[in-house]
Amino acid sequence: MAAPGAGASGEDALIARYFRPLATDPGAFNLLDDAAILKATGEDLVVTTDAVVEGVHFLSDDPPETIGRKALRVNLSDLASKGAIPAGFALTLALRSAEEAWLAPFACGLGEDAERFGCPLLGGDTVSTPGPLMISITAFGRVAAGRMVHRSGAKPGDRVVVTGTIGDAMLGLDILKGGAAAAAIADDPSAREMLIERYRLPQPRNVLAQAVRDHASAAMDVSDGLAGDLGKLCAASGVSAVVDMPSIPFSTPAASLLARAVVRLEALVSGGDDYELLCAIPENQFAAFASEAGSAGVTVASIGTIIAGTQAPKFLDAKGREISLSRRSYSHF
């Protein structure tokens, strides 16, 4: 990403106008060079990449301002789960055309979040495409050398802990698509808005990065469905888990739709886009983790226990009976 000089092209002008204001890090060189610099600080650099595609991860008529925020936040969520502090991001933006009415609010939302989360734009590429809009972000975080939190450290006896609530985003998407939840919640506009907002605007838990680093034995973010993501964490750690379904935290609207059988439990725990943290936390660390989360204004719930074994995690109902899940996560292919 580089901007105009003599003979500035449309692409360069676009970058200068919309994206240079986001490149507040000195290592971005005002987007006037071929590359950016992340200065050596003695810390390890955590690198994560997530892309969002129109019609797949966001809807064509989602507000551009939330699309920009979501593209960054899904990456910030990964950094949070690794215990890393955001350092910046590279942006690839594939556009059909350079329309101010879309680009201005997109860049505005992205820029506000870049500032809010301390994650400035470092560089990137803007390309034309005849296809759907696509935004790919590679985000960088810093963590003390050797201290990144992995998926692979969970130990039998650790608590399985999630932040926030699960399943709201899949309900928000269902509402936007006119699914069963849309009709069921039509008489409650504030609940409707809340669920839609949870889909469009994830709340990455970066405020908990330090607590994750200090207390979690393993962590990841919940992006493709709680059940499947817990399976991945367990597989990476060579363990299994037992989850107490009634302990899974649902928002009031989600719990209501569940009670009314508008949505199935299975759908809530296998839907995507939660962007909450999923951690394995040793018993003797849980109180401290919960306390630090509480101080940061983030609710946490202990939903189960890591156990020895290699089978997929078990989900038990209130009577301790295993619930069979035919679907555990979202997959692109």
Under rule CB under 8 A, residue 266 binds a copy of itself:
no
> Mask of contacts with a copy of itself, 174-213, x by CB under 8 A?
----------------------------------------
Q: How far is the CB of 53 from a copy of itself (least distance, A)?
A: 5
Residues 276-295 that bind a copy of itself (CB under 8 A): none
In the list 56, 259, 288, 308, the residue contacting a copy of itself (rule: CB under 8 A) is 56
Strand partners, 159: 281, 305
Nearer to a copy of itself, 167 or 231 (CB): 231
Q: Which residues contact 224 (CB under 8 A, 6 or more apart)?
A: 272, 329, 330, 331
Residues 64-123 that bind a copy of itself (CB under 8 A): 78-79, 81-82, 84, 90-92, 94-95, 97-98, 122-123
Strand order in the sheet with 276-281: 218-222, 276-281, 159-163, 300-307, 240-244, 314-316
Nearer to a copy of itself, 39 or 319 (CB): 39
**Cα separation of 14 and 98, whole Å?**
8
**Cα separation of 4 and 15, whole Å?**
8
Nearer to a copy of itself, 229 or 292 (CB): 229
In the list 26, 55, 246, 294, the residue contacting a copy of itself (rule: CB under 8 A) is 55
The number of residues making up the chain comes to: 333
Do residues 239 and 154 touch, judged by C-beta distance below 8 A?
yes
**Cα separation of 209 and 81, whole Å?**
7
Under rule CB under 8 A, residue 236 binds a copy of itself:
yes
> Mask of contacts with a copy of itself, 124-163, x by CB under 8 A?
xxxxxxxxx-x-x-x-xx---x--x-xxx-----------
Looking at residue 140, what DSSP letter applies?
Answer: E
Give Cα 109 to chain centroid, integer Å.
Answer: 16
Nearer to a copy of itself, 91 or 245 (CB): 91
Contact region with a copy of itself (CB under 8 A), list: 11-19, 107-115, 163-171, 179-187? 11-19
Q: How far is the CB of 308 from a copy of itself (least distance, A)?
A: 14
Residues 303-332 that bind a copy of itself (CB under 8 A): 310-313, 328-332
Q: How far is the CB of 260 from a copy of itself (least distance, A)?
A: 29
**Cα separation of 173 and 193, whole Å?**
11
Question: Residue count at the site for a copy of itself (CB under 8 A)?
Answer: 90
In the list 20, 23, 48, 64, the residue contacting a copy of itself (rule: CB under 8 A) is 48
Under rule CB under 8 A, residue 173 binds a copy of itself:
no
Tell me phi and psi for residue 164, to 5 degrees: 60, -140
In the list 33, 112, 188, 214, the residue contacting a copy of itself (rule: CB under 8 A) is 33
CA atoms within 13 A on the CB side of 328: 13
Give Cα 281 to chain centroid, integer Å.
Answer: 20
**Cα separation of 3 and 95, whole Å?**
17
